[in-house]
A = this chain, B = another copy of it.
């Protein structure tokens, strides 16, 4: 199988790496990191760069299209070339995955109208605007589209997809490989049960993201 990871400026790194670390270790999986143009692509912090060593143009088809989120989604959606590649590669793929507000990219590409998806808690209204039904779930499948909630949900969504691809035993082995037996030091919960103050802080960080992206200091 072949997996294409779509990079764009201002992605959130764990949206990508949580799923990549699971799916890239499926036996026989070939992985390419690709963007509209080759080169280094900066994460939302401006302090991490991942290399896109293929142009999306150079990927004729893929089995698994992987689309992260991040504050860069807004400008990604405005990139007509990127959106054309998303539609084209989705049409070729057995599976399309979005994580976090990467679901907005699927929405803007016209791929989730009338479908059930999940997304980052603060992006739900924006994803609903594309005609999707947004579920408050960690991961969800509708047809060939698997969506994950925010950031670290990429891990759970990828383990779920790995089982669809290769069965539960494979998924459990991949879970052992990444030693994913979580123990959050202050417990687990849901985003909706967090204090209003915490949600406001995170929403503020997300809203100020365009300034942070503009002020990027990664010395590429």
Contacts and interface: CB of A to CB of B under 8 A. Distances in A.
Interface of A: 12-14, 16-18, 20-21, 24-25, 30-33, 40, 45, 47-51, 53-54, 100, 120-121, 138-139, 149-153, 155-156, 159-160, 163, 168-169, 171-173, 175-186, 188-191, 194, 198-199, 201-202, 205, 218-220
Contacts of A169: 198
A86 B177 CA distance: 26
A175 B182 contact: no
Given A45-B24, A47-B31, A47-B32, A191 B186 contact: no
B183 A202 contact: no
Contact of A50 (B48, B53, B178, B199): B48
Contacts of A183: 138-139, 153, 156
B184 A199 contact: no
A185 B181 CA distance: 11
**Of A33, A172, A182, most B-chain CB atoms within 10 Å:** A182
